[in-house]
């Protein structure tokens, strides 16, 4: 049965420092509201990271991002820096491995995510239960929230980075909908929904680091022996990930230039902003010739409309391989290739690059 929900902001939590008792500070800030069985406590991951001392001062953010990543999914130049979408050691696929400098206090901190946010949620839940005098089996959930963008959607939203005491995914497959139709794919990410709901009262600039969501169905909670299924199970990686790498990065990787590598920096990285035709062609040429010391190229750019490229190689086989590399490299820059001359006795061929219509 549908029931009303209450979302209570936890006001008055002080600035958190390394070693602070987050559970005690949250309960003190809750005051007369206290905690009740059936509550879900949604806590910004930032305050947990601060309490754990997961920060870096004066560090190079690009190096930190790569160090906190399992793999790079996509990368783009943004002004004089590079933004990377990565699979973070914390679990999610997100920009900059979740490393953030906003709402980190008065110092110039770069705050890192905990590598095992589900374990952090379990610890915080245990501490809250103990301080509240509730048994370990009490229906109480803790969700560590963070903020990220989503593919194909503008803007940001909060999601569950870590979770304890909660069914993070409600699988409705095999049930029927309101019209009696069998549901075959529906699985609700309720931990993410709870995190997003809590952010409606937490905000992004109000200094509210936690909220209590009260009135959730009792069946959504799990007992103390069922904590293995935390928020990490919501991360879709491996065989179920249809979009493991951006299309540009996939093409470049096929030519031997992996995203996040020094080679990628050397070749040049596409920008999120407008670029000249010449910049795009230059990257195409660099990708085409990557790790091929015997190849040669003559390039002539006709303003911003086309470029003529003459490729040279040691023999016809190498020339054919080079021509294929040119087409793949051009596709990574959304450019069209037209072969304008047949291979000749000097093992060279001419091609024209132009923007795709």
Read off the CATH number of the domain in which 224 is found: 3.30.1330.100
Kindly indicate the confidence band of residue 171, based on its pLDDT and cuts at 50, 70 and 90: confident
Range 80-102 average pLDDT: 92
Is the pLDDT at 174 greater than 60? The verdict is: no
Domain that holds residue 302: 275-355
Please check whether residue 183 is in contact with residue 137, taking contact to mean a CB–CB distance below 8 angstroms. no
pLDDT at 225: 56
Q: Is residue 258 in a domain?
A: no
pLDDT at 175: 60
Give me the sheet containing 296-302, strands edge to edge.
296-302, 306-312, 348-355, 335-339
Range 257-270 average pLDDT: 96
Is the pLDDT at 226 greater than 60? The verdict is: no
Q: Is residue 102 in a domain?
A: no
Structure-model confidence comparison of residues 154 and 104, the more confident one:
154
pLDDT at 1: 45
User: Are residues 294 and 195 both part of a single domain?
Assistant: no
Please tell me the least confidently modeled range out of 8-17, 88-97, 222-231, 332-341: 222-231
User: Are residues 150 and 221 both part of a single domain?
Assistant: yes
Q: Is residue 232 in a domain?
A: yes
Alpha carbons 336 and 34: distance in angstroms, whole number? 64
CATH code for position 351: 3.30.1360.100
Whether the model clears a pTM of 0.85, i.e. scores above it, the answer is yes
Q: Is residue 188 in a domain?
A: yes
User: Are residues 224 and 343 both part of a single domain?
Assistant: no
Q: What is the mean pLDDT of the chain?
A: 89
Q: Is residue 182 in a domain?
A: yes
User: Are residues 33 and 177 both part of a single domain?
Assistant: yes
**What does the H/E/C string look like for 243-303?**
CCCCHHHHHHHHCCCCCCCHHHHHHCCCECCCCCHHHHHHHHHHHHHCCCCCCEEEEEEEC
Is the pLDDT at 235 greater than 60? The verdict is: yes
User: Are residues 209 and 133 both part of a single domain?
Assistant: yes
Please tell me the least confidently modeled range out of 30-44, 237-251, 284-298, 342-356: 342-356
Q: Is residue 142 in a domain?
A: yes
Is the pLDDT at 67 greater than 90? The verdict is: yes
Is the pLDDT at 340 greater than 50? The verdict is: yes
Range 211-217 average pLDDT: 95
User: Are residues 280 and 151 both part of a single domain?
Assistant: no
User: Are residues 192 and 129 both part of a single domain?
Assistant: yes
User: Are residues 224 and 284 both part of a single domain?
Assistant: no
Alpha carbons 202 and 196: distance in angstroms, whole number? 10
User: Are residues 342 and 228 both part of a single domain?
Assistant: no
**Domain count for the chain:** 2
Kindly indicate the confidence band of residue 32, based on its pLDDT and cuts at 50, 70 and 90: confident
User: Are residues 41 and 137 both part of a single domain?
Assistant: yes
Please check whether residue 152 is in contact with residue 166, taking contact to mean a CB–CB distance below 8 angstroms. no
Structure-model confidence comparison of residues 103 and 143, the more confident one:
143
Q: Is residue 149 in a domain?
A: yes
User: Are residues 233 and 140 both part of a single domain?
Assistant: yes
Q: Is residue 269 in a domain?
A: no
Kindly indicate the confidence band of residue 16, based on its pLDDT and cuts at 50, 70 and 90: very high
User: Are residues 122 and 46 both part of a single domain?
Assistant: yes
């Amino acid at each position: 049965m549908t029931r009303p929900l209450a979302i209570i902001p936890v006001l008055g939590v002080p600035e958190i420092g390394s070693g602070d008792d987050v559970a005690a500070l949250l309960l003190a800030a809750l005051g007369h509201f206290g905690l009740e069985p059936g509550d879900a406590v949604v806590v910004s991951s930032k305050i947990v990271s601060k309490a754990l001392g997961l920060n870096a001062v004066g560090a190079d953010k690009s190096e930190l991002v790569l160090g906190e990543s399992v793999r790079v999914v996509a990368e783009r130049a943004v002004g004089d820096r590079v933004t990377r979408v990565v699979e973070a050691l914390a679990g999610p696929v997100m920009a900059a491995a979740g490393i953030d400098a906003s709402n980190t206090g008065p110092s110039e901190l770069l705050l890192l995510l905990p590598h095992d946010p589900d374990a952090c949620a379990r610890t915080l839940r245990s501490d809250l239960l103990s301080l509240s005098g509730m048994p370990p089996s009490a229906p109480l959930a803790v969700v560590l929230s963070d903020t990220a963008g989503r593919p194909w959607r503008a803007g940001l939203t909060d999601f569950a980075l870590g979770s304890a005491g909660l069914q993070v995914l409600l699988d409705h497959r095999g049930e029927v909908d309101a019209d009696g139709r069998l549901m075959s794919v529906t699985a609700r990410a309720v931990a993410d929904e709870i995190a997003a709901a809590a952010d409606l009262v937490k905000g992004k600039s109000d200094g509210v680091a936690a909220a209590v969501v009260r009135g959730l169905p009792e069946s959504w909670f799990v007992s103390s022996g069922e904590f293995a299924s935390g928020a990490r199970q919501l991360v879709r990686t491996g065989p179920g990930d249809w979009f493991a790498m951006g299309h540009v990065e996939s093409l470049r990787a096929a030519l031997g230039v992996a995203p996040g590598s020094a080679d990628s920096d050397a070749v040049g990285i596409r920008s999120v902003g407008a670029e000249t035709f010449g910049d795009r062609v230059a990257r195409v040429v660099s990708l085409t010739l990557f790790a091929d010391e015997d190849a040669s190229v003559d390039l002539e750019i006709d303003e911003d409309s086309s470029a003529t490229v003459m490729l040279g190689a040691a023999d016809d086989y190498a020339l054919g391989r080079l021509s294929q590399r040119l087409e793949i490299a051009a596709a990574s820059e959304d450019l069209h290739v037209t072969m304008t001359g047949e291979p000749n006795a000097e093992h060279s061929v001419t091609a024209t690059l132009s923007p795709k219509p």
